[in-house]
A and B are shown apart, each in its own frame.
Chain A
Amino acid sequence: MKKQAILTATLLLITSFIYAQTIIKGTVKDNHNHPLAGASITLKDTYDGATSDSLGYFHFGTTEKGAHVISITSLGYKEYIQNVTLGSEPIVIETSLKEQLDELKAVTVTAGSFAAGDNKRGTVLSSLDVATTAGSNADITAALRTLPGTQQIGEQEGLFVRGGAGYEAKQYIDGTLVNNPYYSSVPDIASRGRFSPFLFKGTVFSTGGYSALYGQALSSVVLLESIDLPEKSEIDASVSPLVVGAGTQQLAKDKKSSWGFSYDYVNVGLYFSLVKQTPDYFRLPQFHNADANFRFKTKSGGMIKYYTTFAQSNLGIRRPDVDSSYLKDAFALKNINWYNNLSWRENLNNGWRMNLGASYSTNTDNIFQQVQDQNNQPKQFSPYTYWMNYKDFTIDSRQDLTQLKAVFEKKLGGISTLRVGSEYWYNYNKFTYNDTLRKLIDNYTATFAEASIYLTNEIAAQIGARFEYSSVINKTDVAPRISLAYKTGKDAQVSLAYGEFYQKPENNQLLYSTNVGFTKATHYIINYQKMNTLRIFRVEAYYKTYADLIKTIPIGYNYFNYNNSGKGYARGVDVFFRDKKTIKNLDYWISYSYVDTKRNYLNYTSELQPNYAATHTASLVTKRFFQDLKMGVNLTYTFATGRPYYNFMVDNAGKYFLQDQGKTKPYNALNFSAEWVPSVGKPNAKTFIVLFASVTNVLGYNAVYGYNYSYNGLYKQPIEPPAKRFYFIGCFLSWGVDRSQDAINNNL
């Protein structure tokens, strides 16, 4: 019996001897030679292994013998593999893992650009942010005006970016230019943008140094990317004293296609009877807007989208004449606008991607102005007071733009990308001033190439160039663009950008003279950004030079010639800070811009600070959502120092001289909005309701945007908004069919 026991014990010992362990240990470091915690060390095809500790150290034993493979992995790093022969000797592994280039981890070039949109990395504003920024009233441009680099301009539409005029900023939808992004406006009153923020899933607002894929904008581009497919089918309706509308979006059961349309009608009659307007509206503003779309996914994962919108507006306004207190200027405007955009995104073979875009838009403005007497009857003038005669006119203007754009994209090993493409614009403009018809046709072509190169996750470069030709001026240009980004730490990076930007002179100049060339701006930008999900801080300094700006040469009182002898500069600093973290449920951002800019262009007599540029501008935007009340309250405060104003007159020698100048008082506005969303968080609610109310300029500050001068320059009239405050109250309803259940069933 004893013998047996010994034998058994011996056998057990042998068994355990066979299982004698080999020790494997070492340290894992990252590409910067810092210890890498949490790396997984595996003896392949066995259960044995370990995870590195905070010092990168690991240690484990294995009973395996012979030739084996050790693998070390960690998220964001390339796998490290080593062949080992397991014997009795311990194995020591000292290694540093190579970083894996990863689009999600890699630095992105941020110099000059604000990414806005939903579910996008580096997002600054979402479409909901646009809707809930007090003072924006769901106008994209108004919301972008709370970001640094922009001016607070109330007398005309557009984005005035870093010393640039409004027409020097352009909007693109799905890659193609929008010719008339704003509703046609009355002089001295800004109009809204035509497009709802909810059409777009992403917006990039570039305040300079933007990609070679875009051109013909000296200062800024706004890149709007339309949503692919709606999340569910729904019917929407909106009711307010100003606007009524209805629409639908229908998503197919297989979630591969959708279509929709909507219509709304704006009539300010009731509103103007309640809220007094300074001007006398003899034709109450009315707008009809209709749009339709269809979108579908292609077999190979591509996407085809078509969007069309039609708008018609009609208004007439009467204001005091600047030359006589007895007289009034009546101005009437009828506008028809039709916009179409077709885009096709497709994955091709060999890693190529294709983006095709086509768009067609036509815009017709019928304008009429007449000087009227106290009884609103036309007033006749003798030929001696020719400046008064020039105030009576009719303009029939039509602008058509047809565009084709193709961009091909290829991944260059890892995450580096090459983009090449070309675009063609056919511009047709017909302009009838009184009885004189002028036509302007331009064939514009551009070819561009751009490479985004990632050297490591920390360093990225974007190098591109754009070649452009415009037939109407018969000129070509080559615009280089370079930007670099370097990650300086966790969530932090520095970017640099340089670029040259060209823009054709405006149509109203080209109609009179095509013997001009491209205007030009050169941008130099340096940017520092620190950003995580709940906080963004960025500061950006820039220097811009302008060359070949258009100068106006007067020929008589109402005729002009143009040349490219203008120039100027802009330099400044933009600061942005957004924080959702410090105070619970409070989301706020602060923007500050400083700009020092001067230009000698148009009728300016020397290099002067442009009349749209305030030296200091600041905004504080706050949003607070009260969970218990299901209500959000938003306040925006904006401040800008005064802007210069000038009166240029023509002397006897036919030259401009500066007759008078001054500076407006500072601009202040406190805007308020609130939304009540009673159906939020009710997952099975059939009706979704949003009640929205807003007031601009709550404190009733009297804004003066500038002055209009009388013919003799002796009298000036302030340019003020048509009413001190703008009130809005509306109810938005939607009835949705949630298709997520179908999606689940289809995926089972």
Chain B
Amino acid sequence: MKPIILSVTFCLFMLFSFAQSDRYAAAMKSKLSLFDSAKTIADLQGLSDAFVRIGDAEKTQWQPYYYAALALSTAGWMGTQSNDFDKDGNAQKMNTLCDKAEALATADADKSEICAIRNMAATQQMMVDPQSRYMTYGTAANNALKKGMQLNPNNPRMYYLQGMSLFNTPTQYGGGKDKAKPVFEKAISLYNAEQPVGFNPRWGKQQAATQLALCQ
């Protein structure tokens, strides 16, 4: 009989735990796995909505909103060349999600991660019309970067984003491969030291390595 009791207990446990926090973990896990398979802007927007639903249902977790915004930032990078994609609207949504995440995040390191999203939102808005938007959105992107580094000097994603910004800035404007290279190197050493727990962000290592290779 013992095994039956075990089985019943197991099933009840499954039911119970599903209703509780493992349900959250499972949902997050399954949605996070969709990041790699999302191929279109619409896929990413749908994924973002799914994270928002998790966040709205949980009410206390900052990560769902963070990933909802991250999905939109990926959509934003995909949409830079598209005329129909509303870049300002997308960035506005990202910032709204950042506000929600920021209200729930307590640790400085978590807030630093949110700065990375704000940096990307501002950068994407700047790229709509760099010449006339550099002063506003360029400054906003830079400020988000500085603030994120201050909140967590060991956040590799801040250095990855700084590296990207330098990489895409012409040499005569203080950017270029030579300037970006040490920053990517620093990012990678920080990525190597990073030991993310739970659903804390861990993206960017692969991209940083690819970019570093381009700097050689």
Residue ranges of A at the interface with B (Cβ–Cβ < 8 Å): 4, 7-8, 11-12, 14-15, 18, 37-38, 40, 42-51, 53-54, 75-76, 118-119, 126, 128, 231, 533-534, 580, 587, 625, 627-628, 630, 680-684, 740-741, 743-745, 747-748
A11, A49, A745: the one within 8 Å of B11 (CB): A11
- Does residue B34 face the partner (Cβ distance < 8 Å to A)? no
A-B contact pairs, 28 of them (CB 8 A): A4-B7, A7-B4, A7-B7, A37-B42, A38-B42, A40-B52, A42-B53, A42-B56, A47-B57, A48-B53, A49-B49, A54-B42, A75-B89, A126-B132, A625-B131, A628-B172, A630-B172, A630-B173, A680-B173, A681-B169, A681-B170, A681-B174, A682-B173, A740-B139, A743-B143, A744-B147, A748-B147, A748-B151
Evaluate contact between B42 and A4: CB separation under 8 angstroms: no
A8 to B50, CA, bound (A): 33
B interface residues, Cβ below 8 angstroms from A:
3-4, 7-8, 11, 14-15, 23, 27, 42, 45-46, 49-50, 52-54, 56-57, 89, 92-93, 128-129, 131-132, 135-136, 139, 142-143, 146-147, 150-151, 169-170, 172-175
Minimum distance in angstroms from A726 CB to a CB of chain B: 27
CB-CB nearest in chain A for B6: A8
- Measured in the bound complex, the distance between the Cα atoms of B139 and A744 in whole Å is 12
Evaluate contact between A47 and B50: CB separation under 8 angstroms.
Answer: yes
- The 5 A-B pairs of least Cβ separation, nearest first, read A681-B173, A51-B46, A40-B49, A8-B7, A51-B49
Q: With A48-B53, A54-B42, A681-B172 in contact, do A741 and B146 touch (Cβ < 8 Å)? A: yes
Asked if A4 meets B50 with Cβ closer than 8 Å, knowing A46-B57, A740-B139, the reply is no
Shortest Cβ distance from residue A102 to the other chain B in the assembled complex, whole angstroms: 11
Bound together, the chains give a CA A717 to CA B173 distance in angstroms of 54
Q: Determine whether the beta carbon of B8 is less than 8 Å from that of A683.
A: no
In angstroms, Cα B139 to Cα A741, docked, is 11
Report the bound CA distance from A729 to B8 in whole Å. 89
What does DSSP make chain B's interface, helix, strand, loop or mixed?
helix
User: A4 contacts B3, CB within 8 Å?
Assistant: yes
**Given A7-B4, A7-B7, A748-B150, are A51 and B170 also a contact pair (CB < 8 Å)?**
no
Nearest chain A CB to B190 CB, angstrom units: 21
Set of chain A residues within 8 Å of B46, measured between Cβ atoms: 50-51
CA A748 to CA B89, docked complex, whole Å? 27
Complex Cα gap A533–B91 (Å)? 15
In the complex the two chains form, is B174's CB within 8 Å of A682's CB? yes
Name which residue of chain B comes closest to A51, CB basis: B46
Contacts of A8 in B (CB 8 A): 3-4, 7
Which of B129, B136, B170 is close to A533, meaning CB atoms less than 8 Å apart? B129
Give the chain A neighbours of B151 by CB distance below 8 A: 748
Whether A683 lies near B42 (C-beta < 8 A) is no
Q: Closest approach, in angstroms, between the C-beta of A632 and any C-beta of chain B? A: 10
Q: Which residues of B contact A37 (CB under 8 A)?
A: 42
Q: Quick one: which of B27, B54, B129, B175 has the most chain A CB within 10 A?
A: B129
**Cβ of A683 and Cβ of B147 under 8 Å apart?**
no
Q: How far is the CB of A17 from chain B (nearest CB, A)?
A: 12
Residue in contact with B142 in the complex, picked from A7, A38, A48, A683, CB distance below 8 Å: A683
Give B205 Cβ to nearest chain A Cβ, in Å. Answer: 26
With both chains docked as a complex, state the minimum distance between the C-beta of B7 and any C-beta of chain A, in angstroms: 4
Q: Considering only CB atoms, which chain B residue lies closest to A11 in the complex?
A: B11
Q: Which residues of A contact B4 (CB under 8 A)?
A: 4, 7-8
With a cutoff of 8 Å between Cβ atoms, the chain B residues found around residue A126 in the complex are: 132
A680 to B57, CA, bound (A): 48
Smallest CB gap from A46: residue in B: B57
- Give B58's nearest chain A residue, CB to CB: A47
B131 touches A47 (CB 8 A): no
Contacts of A683 in B (CB 8 A): 142, 174
Cα–Cα, bound, A7→B146 (Å): 61
User: When chains A and B are docked, how far (Å) is the Cα of A231 from the Cα of B143?
Assistant: 13
Question: Which residues from chain B contact A741 at a C-beta distance below 8 Å?
Answer: 146
Complex CA distance for A47 and B93, rounded to whole angstroms? 20
What separation, in Å, do the CA atoms of A38 and B71 have in the docked complex? 14
Taken together as a complex, chains A and B put the C-alpha atoms of A119 and B136 apart, in Å, by 8
CB-nearest residue of chain A to B2: A4
Bound state CA distance, A683 and B4, in angstroms?
Answer: 70
Whether the Cβ atoms of B143 and A740 lie closer than 8 Å is yes
Question: With A11-B7, A38-B42, A51-B49 known to touch, is A44 a contact of B56 (CB < 8 Å)?
Answer: yes
A627, B170: Cβ atoms under 8 Å?
yes
Closest residue on chain B to residue A632 by CB atoms: B131
Q: Looking across the interface, which residue of chain B has its beta carbon closest to that of A1?
A: B3
| CA A14 to CA B11, docked complex, whole Å | 9
Q: Point out which of A47, A126, A680, A684 has the most chain B C-beta atoms below 10 A from its C-beta.
A: A47
By a CB distance below 8 angstroms, the chain B residues around A534 are 128-129
Q: Which residue of A lies closest to B54 (CB)?
A: A47
Given contacts A46-B53, A533-B129, A740-B139, contact A18 B7 (CB under 8 A): no
Chain B residue numbers with a CB within 8 Å of A12 are 11
Closest to B171 in A: A628
* Bound CA–CA A35/B174 (angstroms): 47
Find the B residue at minimum CB distance from A129: B132
Residue numbers in B under 8 Å from A128 (CB-CB): 132
CB neighbours of B174 from chain A (8 A): 681-684
How many angstroms from the CA of A51 to the CA of B169 in the assembled complex? 37
CB-CB under 8 A from B3, the residues of chain A are 4, 8
Q: Are A45 and B15 neighbours in the complex by a CB distance under 8 Å?
A: no
A740 touches which of B131, B146, B170 (Cβ 8 Å): B146
Known contacts A49-B50, A744-B147; is-contact A580 B56 (Cβ 8 Å)? no
Chain A residues within an 8 Å CB radius of B92: 75
Q: Do the beta carbons of A49 and B7 come within 8 Å of each other?
A: no
Q: A42-B49, A53-B42, A681-B173 are in contact. List 16 more A-B contacts (CB 8 A).
A: A8-B4, A43-B53, A47-B53, A47-B57, A48-B53, A49-B50, A51-B46, A231-B135, A580-B131, A630-B172, A681-B174, A682-B174, A683-B142, A683-B174, A743-B143, A744-B146
Provide the residues of chain A in CB contact with B143, threshold 8 Å: 740, 743-744
Contacts of B146 in A (CB 8 A): 740-741, 744
Distance of A119 Cα from B45 Cα, bound (Å): 28
Return B124 CB to nearest CB of chain A, in Å.
13
CA of A49 to CA of B147, assembled, Å: 35
- The residues of A that contact B45 with a CB separation of less than 8 Å are 38, 51
Assess whether B129 is in contact with A580, with CB atoms less than 8 Å apart: yes
Contact of A75 among B93, B132, B142, B150 (CB under 8 A): B93
Q: State A486–B147 Cα separation when bound (angstroms).
A: 43
Which residues of chain B come closer than 8 Å to A48, judged between CB atoms? 53
Residues of A contacting B139 with CB < 8 Å? 231, 740
On whether the beta carbons of B7 and A45 are closer than 8 Å, the reply is no
- The distance in angstroms between the C-alpha atoms of A681 and B14, with both chains bound, is 58
Residue from the set B8, B53, B56, B139 with the largest chain A CB neighbour count within 10 Å: B53
Is A49 touching B172 in the complex (CB atoms < 8 A)?
Answer: no
Residues of A with C-beta under 8 A to B11: 11-12, 14-15
> Once the chains bind, are B14 and A15 in contact (CB under 8 Å)?
yes
Task: Return A228 CB to nearest CB of chain B, in Å.
Answer: 14
Q: Flag if A45 contacts B57 (CB, 8 Å).
A: yes
Give the CA-CA distance A37 to B49 in the complex, in Å.
Answer: 13
A53–B40 Cα distance when bound, in Å, is 12
Tell me how far the C-beta of A646 lies from the nearest C-beta in chain B, rounded to whole angstroms: 45
Q: In the bound complex, how far is the Cα of B132 from the Cα of A126, in angstroms?
A: 8
State the CA gap A552–B142 with chains docked (Å): 63
Contact of A744 among B131, B150, B169 (CB under 8 A): B150
Identity of the chain B residue whose Cβ is nearest the Cβ of A52 in the assembled complex: B46
User: What separation, in Å, do the CA atoms of A76 and B55 have in the docked complex?
Assistant: 21
Is there contact, CB below 8 Å, between A47 and B27? yes
Inter-subunit contact B129/A49 (CB<8 Å): no
Residues in A neighbouring B50, C-beta threshold 8 A: 47, 49, 51
Bound Cα distance from A400 to B93, whole angstroms:
52
**How close is A329's CB to chain B, nearest CB, in angstroms?**
48
Q: Flag if B57 contacts A747 (CB, 8 Å).
A: no
State how many angstroms separate the Cβ of B100 from the closest Cβ of chain A: 14
The docked-state distance in angstroms from the alpha carbon of A628 to that of B54 is 48
CB distance from B113 to the nearest CB of A (A): 15
Question: Taking the nearest CB of chain B, how far is it from the CB of A69, in angstroms?
Answer: 12
Residues in B neighbouring A42, C-beta threshold 8 A: 49, 52-53, 56
